[in-house]
Amino acid sequence: MKKNLYPAFSVLLVDDELPWLRSLTMALNGEGGINNIIQCQDSRQVLDIINEQNVGLVLLDLTMPHVSGEQLLTTISETFPSVFVIVITGMNQVDYAVRCMKVGAFDYYVKTNDVNRIITGILHAIRIIELQRESRDVRSRLLTDRLENPEAFSDIVTTSKKMFAIFQYIESIALSKQPVLITGESGVGKELIARALYKACAYDKPMVSVNIAGLDDAMFSDTLFGHKRGAFTGADDSRSGLVEQAEETILFLDEIGDLSQSSQVKLLRLLQDGEYYSVGGDQLKRTKSRFVLATNHDLLSKQQCGEFRKDLFYRLQTHHIHIPPLRERKEDIPLLLEHFVKAAAHELGLKCPPNIPKPIPALLSRYAFPGNIRELRSIVYDEVCRNKIMLSADGFKDVINYRQEIESNPDACILGDAAILQVFLNAQRLPTYSEVEDILTEAALDKAGGNQTLAARMLGISQPGLSKRISSCKNRINK
């Protein structure tokens, strides 16, 4: 964005007292982070400004020369019903407040030196206006059946109508500041969707991403909020957190379903109020980051069994994108197959990608792909490594049959506890942990025919975890 304005619509301040206009503007800029502001001292100009500018909220004084605030309130409510009006006046009388609310004012405040309560009310009104505008935008975009910025989705290989509907929804919420929850099974491409949203938002600063699975409460706070010097042992210097680094861009938090209850409380306050404290700090900070969160967990089930906070669960439902699994959009398999074959050939330095026999797409379409697109990619890359001229339909068939066998009977290739124990009891010496890790890694890769995704599933670890173990094993051998 060339200029980062918040909110996307203008907030019109109307008051004949210039000092109050200046002080309220400073407070809105500082405490509220609101910088899309228009000032007006002459009440006769208000209707023209609303008519010509993208005004969504008017902060209106009642006692002004020329045209009174009450007259303006009535006219605005009748002529511009989508524009919210908050009355901020020095008249502390109940009958005035009641009269204004009946005419159509969203809220009523008395001028005071403590503007925090007023700012809170203004931010609340802004959120409601944003939601109303987003709702209208979603309806209009879905009716047009087109994309305004198709380049934002160029990295996602699909021909699915379900995915196209998701793209339309992403465009409709691009200008919103509300958090976005992305759900879907492992391997469906949640981070790709987050990056598509980032591109649709057209931020100048790069997106900031972090996987928060496995972070304890202390690590979660330090990673997101940073710390002050001396906050804990080893904190020799102050460090900014990812929230501060992601100011005015997207902060993508992956695997939020694994957060502890205490971390969930901190995340809720961050999303709800945009406020946080750095570790060891006593200064309240505000953020303009846009939060995008992802999980492969069923948050509703976790919430119902008490593992996920109810208030955080409902806070995350403002914008929700659920990515369908690959088995529900099998029309994408031929496209993805061709895409991954070309990518693998390029990575291996082949002059031409191998040919794809016609039976292979149909063969792959009969497989459920529990690992979704990530699993398809691993199968294709492995086959391209084996067959650099023409892919083998039999090779794909063998891999799929083997995976289906493991899915239906996961214990088929695993020794029982007693058998495993007997192996060690009969040994002359017990192997070290490192040796056992190397033996298990090698055995799993051998059983899986070199396929790391399948080997990782046998070992009960993630594919990145297996890759680290393979690297560690190679390093020990080289030493």
CATH of the domain at 396: 1.10.8.60
Q: Determine, yes or no, domain membership for 1.
A: no
CATH code of the domain containing 51: 3.40.50.2300
Q: Determine, yes or no, domain membership for 5.
A: no
Confidence of residue 415 (pLDDT cuts 50, 70, 90): very low
Distance from chain centroid for Cα 71: 44
In the 3-class helix/strand/coil scheme, how is 390-446 assigned residue by residue? ECCHHHHHHHHHHHHHHHHCCCCCCCCHHHHHHHHHCCCCCCCHHHHHHHHHHHHHH
Confidence of residue 1 (pLDDT cuts 50, 70, 90): very low
In this structure, is the dihedral angle defined by the CA atoms of residues 260, 265, 270 and 275, taken in order, positive or negative?
Answer: negative
User: Token pair for residue 303?
Assistant: 């919430």
> What's the chain's average pLDDT?
87
Say if residue 263 is in the same domain as residue 320.
yes
Say if residue 403 is in the same domain as residue 425.
no
Say if residue 303 is in the same domain as residue 389.
no
pLDDT in tens, 244-296: 999 889 999 999 998 999 999 999 999 988 889 999 988 888 888 999 999 99
What is the distance in angstroms between the CA of the first residue and the CA of the last residue of the chain? Answer: 51
User: Token pair for residue 290?
Assistant: 């846009």
Give how many domains the chain has, as a whole number: 4
In percent, the amount of the chain with pLDDT more than 90 equals 57
Say if residue 149 is in the same domain as residue 273.
yes
Q: Taking 70 as the threshold, does the pLDDT of residue 475 lie above it?
A: no
Say if residue 161 is in the same domain as residue 290.
yes
Say if residue 316 is in the same domain as residue 353.
no
Q: Determine, yes or no, domain membership for 3.
A: no
User: Token pair for residue 355?
Assistant: 């040919």
Say if residue 168 is in the same domain as residue 303.
yes
Strands (E) across 201-284 are located at 208-211, 226-227, 239-240, 250-254, 275-276
Which of 274, 295, 324 terminates a domain? The answer is 324
Say if residue 186 is in the same domain as residue 319.
yes
For residue 126, the enclosing domain spans 10-135
Say if residue 336 is in the same domain as residue 353.
yes
Peptide bond into 7 cis (omega under 30): yes
Alpha helices by DSSP H, listed for 202-238, are 217-225
In this structure, of 207-221, 332-346, 394-408, 418-432, the range with the lowest mean pLDDT score is 418-432
Say if residue 187 is in the same domain as residue 81.
no
pLDDT in tens, 138-176: 777 666 667 888 999 999 999 999 999 999 999 988 888
Does this model's pTM top 0.85? no
pLDDT top residue among 346 and 414: 346
Distance from chain centroid for Cα 397: 37
User: Token pair for residue 314?
Assistant: 């409902």
Q: What share of the chain is helix, strand, coil (3-state, %, to 5)?
A: 50, 10, 35
In percent, the amount of the chain with pLDDT more than 70 equals 91
d(CA 85, CA 44): 16
pLDDT (0 to 100) of residue 364: 94
Averaged pLDDT, 76-86: 93
Render 170-188 in DSSP notation, one character per residue. Answer: HHHTTT--S-EEEE--TTS
Which of 378, 408, 438 terminates a domain? The answer is 408
Q: Determine, yes or no, domain membership for 245.
A: yes
pLDDT in tens, 95-132: 888 989 999 999 999 988 778 889 989 999 998 998 88
Q: Taking 60 as the threshold, does the pLDDT of residue 380 lie above it?
A: yes
CATH code of the domain containing 429: 1.10.10.60
Q: At what angle do helices 372-386 and 333-348 cross, to 10 degrees?
A: 50
